[in-house]
Amino acid sequence: MANNAMALDSIFHALADPTRRAVIQRLGRGPATVGELAEPFDMALPSFMKHVGILERTGLIRSRKSGRIRTCTLEQKNLAAAERWFADQRATWASRYQNLDGLLEKLTGEDRGS
């Protein structure tokens, strides 16, 4: 459980930055070179590469180098861990809301019966 929590912490940390979220979003359409990924951002390539490094260490993306070209791909398996966490949270809250709805129906039904 602690390993899973640490993995989620690093994933959410990586996704906390808008540049890294944009990179993930772009890679959702398919592989791209670092140059293609960096193009929309007003930053030097070394600064952009720090973002790529964080995403790679987190396991959200993978890159491979062929000559001078580095191509990045999305690692959907690791992104799925965050999706599962959100799904679990939605299920928990949906259950709580259903319980609250049931209680409210019971209370309002008792008020009408009095």
SS (H, E, C) 7-33: HHHHHHHHHCCHHHHHHHHHHCCCCEE
Q: Which fold has domain 2-113?
A: Arc Repressor Mutant, subunit A (1.10.10)
Is 96's pLDDT higher than 80?
Answer: no
φ, ψ of residue 49 to 5 degrees: the values are: -65, -25
pLDDT band at 84 (very low <50, low <70, confident <90, very high): confident
pLDDT band at 68 (very low <50, low <70, confident <90, very high): very high
pLDDT-above-70 percentage for the chain: 92
Is 60's pLDDT higher than 80?
Answer: yes
Identify the burial level of 8 via C-beta atoms within 10 angstroms of its C-beta, where 0-12 means exposed, 13-18 middle and 19 or more buried: middle
Kindly give the interhelix angle for 18-27 and 2-15, rounded to the nearest 10 degrees. 100
All structural domains of the chain with their residue ranges = 2-113
Is 71's pLDDT higher than 80?
Answer: yes
